[in-house]
Structure 1
Amino acid sequence: MKHLFGYMGKSNLILFFYVLILSSCHRPERDNLDFTEWGNYWFQGKAEISSFDLVQYRYGEAREGEAVLIFVTEDFSRKKQVKLDEPEKAGRDKVSVLKMNQTRDFVTGIYPYHMMLSAFTPTKEKSTGLKFTASSQEWCGQTFTQLNKNGEASYQGKLFSYFEKEGDDVFTVKGIMEDDLWNLIRINPSEIPLGNVKMLPSLFFQRLSHRGFVPESAFIKVDKISENRSRLELNYSSGFRSLEVVFEHDFPFPILEWKEIQTNAHGEKEITQAKRKAIKIIDYWKRNKLEDEFLREELNLKF
């Protein structure tokens, strides 16, 4: 190598290292995106908010409630995996992500549940989600779970819980995150991994079932079910859980409804489902005054 550098000369050596750095920093992009069409919708400085009538199965009974899906793009830090305060100064640490916030609110008897899940998935770069978080608050206490990507197919997780058996825990997971599927639908359904996969069930499911963070064998398929609708189906091979998400067949692939089926210890089916009731494109973070509360009525929000 020393003789090679000597033969190349100073100017060629500089060029050699420049090309080497560029090639090492290159990250593959998603193949099936119309970046112009995609950017016109997702980079307009607003979020997409959808409200849903929710039927959440809990403690052996179906509970009526409300769910909200919020999709918005953000500038994210690769290293810290948080939203950047000054993206213009971040350089190559900046990565564009699609963020999904999903909230669920429902009542069990006298006390309410407030749950929230967030997923952060690169938009243009061909990559699985970088970060996933979930929290649950109810009158017994609260829990928080966070998983950060720390390798090609590996996540470092932390769980903070008021339950003694769970306590504060640190764990590692290898595989695909079920909660990533929601963002992949919105980016482009062609990005969804089809067929047999190793997948970690949703963090919401983990919280309500108190199962360990262990990836399971599963099968994914996507079918067109009408002229303008498609459906993602996810079935775990153990038979304990399945997920169906119905979305519009054409860009920007908005989500219309979903269904989760769990099989309890007695072999009974517990069905959670949600159907969209309203959708709005808005810069909601600027609409925080009393005079803006009418916007909740436009979204048919009750909780």
Structure 2
Amino acid sequence: MFIQRNFLFIVMALAVLLAVAMKATVYQREPTTPPTPSPATTEAFRAYWFGGKAELNNYRLEQAQYGAMYPGKAVLVFVTEDFRVDKQVKLESEASRNTAIPVLKTNYVRQFVTGVYDYSLFTSVFTPIDNANGSPSRFPNTLKVSTSGQEWCGQSYVQMNYKDNAYRVSGRSYFEQEATEDYNVEKALLEDELWNRIRLNPKKLPIGDVHVIPGTQAARLRHKKLEPLLATTTLDSAQGVTWTQTRKPGVTTGPCKAYVVDYKDDGRKLTIFFESDFPHRIVGWEDTYKTKDKVLTSRAVLQKTIQSDYWNHNTPADSTLRYELGL
């Protein structure tokens, strides 16, 4: 009779005891840590990257090719734009506004001369910017990479599109082994997106043993297939960087860090040097690998940075901006 009269009370008491035993009461729960706000939410980030201008960087280049070193130049252009996620192209009509998200785009230009003839490489990378509210992005992966190469022997083009949790590779080339390429590679960190990742949030760079798809320019120069390779990645302060002495007079940088991607099985190591403080300018890079039985290091050193709405400066009079950039 006692159990029947007090059944509800007994059930509630047992439930409380069970909750206490499982540390599930509101007084026992561990305090939850709110998600770390994305750098994209800061006023400084939005003022710098959404102020209607691109960041243009000119680099002095020493390029390894054919077992020798050649002088050249490199340009990195960083700019934000609205990017359609369905067609993976720049948004150009308000009717398609609901299909677009903001991305940070890298345009990476590399030019050098080998003997009597020249090389020109151009890469574009489109990386979504974190959601403004700091929550995980619906598009955490770089959506597209495209690279074209021109030299006196011939031309090549390769494109990677993120779709269905993988990258679709399509390529065409003058060279027989790369004449027609259409295949999928499993999702992995892209070497080509590291420049954007550094500018967006270097604290999120992966550290340790990571599968990385090598850069499209490096793959074309070495005639390598694009596929994930195991690499050891590190992030350290860049102390005693020897190439700083080759920087153009008057170009100064703050404290720097070095992000290293070491493809041990492939015999290649890439090091990207960037400023520790926002906006984390790329001050140079080194790329070491074997070319014609010699292990050589390509090297780029920042010479000049300017901000400009360059797309509005396409008249002959605007060529003065090239002089300002040091080109």
Listed as ranges, the gaps of 5+ residues in structure 1 are: 1-28
Q: Tell me if 1:112 matches 2:112.
A: no
Q: 2:154 aligns with which of 112, 121, 141?
A: 141
Q: Tell me if 1:225 matches 2:238.
A: yes
Name the residue aligned to 1:238: 265
Q: 2:203 aligns with which of 182, 186, 190?
A: 190
**Contact persistence 2:62–2:300 (CA under 8 A):** yes
Q: 1:207 aligns with which of 199, 220, 223?
A: 220
Query: Residue 212 and residue 191 in structure 1: after superposition, are their counterparts in 2 closer, same or farther (change >3 A)?
Result: same
Listed as ranges, the gaps of 5+ residues in structure 2 are: 1-34, 132-136, 240-253
Structure 2 CA distance for aligned equivalents of residues 300 and 281 of structure 1: 13
Report the more deviating stretch, 223-232 or 178-187.
223-232
Report the more deviating stretch, 97-106 or 238-247.
238-247
Matches within 5 A, 1:117-132: 117-125=123-131, 126=137, 127-132=140-145
Q: Which of structure 1's runs of 4+ aligned residues deviate more than 2 A?
A: 29-32, 88-92, 224-227, 263-266
Q: Tell me if 1:162 matches 2:162.
A: no
Shift of 1:92: 3.5
TM-superposition CA deviations, 1:64-115 (whole Å, max 9, x none): 00000000001000110000102x4334311100000000111111111111
Which amino acid is 1:164 matched to? E
Query: Residue 34 and residue 157 in structure 1: after superposition, are their counterparts in 2 closer, same or farther (change >3 A)?
Result: closer
Q: 1:62 aligns with which of 64, 69, 84?
A: 69
Shift of 1:225: 3.0
Q: Tell me if 1:298 matches 2:324.
A: yes
Structure 2 CA distance for aligned equivalents of residues 34 and 156 of structure 1: 28
SS at 1:293's partner residue? helix
Length-normalised TM-score, structure 2:
0.79
Which amino acid is 2:178 matched to? E
**Contact persistence 2:91–2:97 (CA under 8 A):** no
Query: Residue 99 and residue 278 in structure 1: after superposition, are their counterparts in 2 closer, same or farther (change >3 A)?
Result: same
Name the residue aligned to 1:52: 59
Q: Which entry has the higher C-alpha Rg, 1 or 2? A: 2
Query: Residue 31 and residue 222 in structure 1: after superposition, are their counterparts in 2 closer, same or farther (change >3 A)?
Result: farther
TM-superposition CA deviations, 1:174-231 (whole Å, max 9, x none): 1221111110000010121221111111101110000112211001111123572111
Which amino acid is 1:70 matched to? V
Query: Residue 162 and residue 34 in structure 1: after superposition, are their counterparts in 2 closer, same or farther (change >3 A)?
Result: closer
Q: How high is the sequence identity, in percent, across the aligned residues?
A: 37
Structure 1 CA distance for aligned equivalents of residues 231 and 100 of structure 2: 33
Which amino acid is 1:62 matched to? M
**Contact persistence 2:64–2:291 (CA under 8 A):** no
Name the residue aligned to 1:21: none
Name the residue aligned to 2:81: 74
Q: Tell me if 1:280 matches 2:306.
A: yes
Structure 2 CA distance for aligned equivalents of residues 284 and 272 of structure 1: 28
Q: 2:108 aligns with which of 102, 105, 116?
A: 102
SS at 2:44's partner residue? helix
**Contact persistence 2:40–2:130 (CA under 8 A):** no
Structure 2 CA distance for aligned equivalents of residues 58 and 198 of structure 1: 26
Structure 2 CA distance for aligned equivalents of residues 81 and 31 of structure 1: 27
Length-normalised TM-score, structure 1:
0.85
Query: Residue 176 and residue 30 in structure 1: after superposition, are their counterparts in 2 closer, same or farther (change >3 A)?
Result: farther
Structure 2 CA distance for aligned equivalents of residues 210 and 93 of structure 1: 36
Q: Tell me if 1:260 matches 2:287.
A: yes
Structure 2 CA distance for aligned equivalents of residues 51 and 291 of structure 1: 20
Structure 2 CA distance for aligned equivalents of residues 161 and 239 of structure 1: 23
SS at 1:193's partner residue? coil
**CA RMSD, Structure 1 to Structure 2 (Å):** 1.6
**Contact persistence 1:233–1:245 (CA under 8 A):** yes
SS at 1:252's partner residue? coil
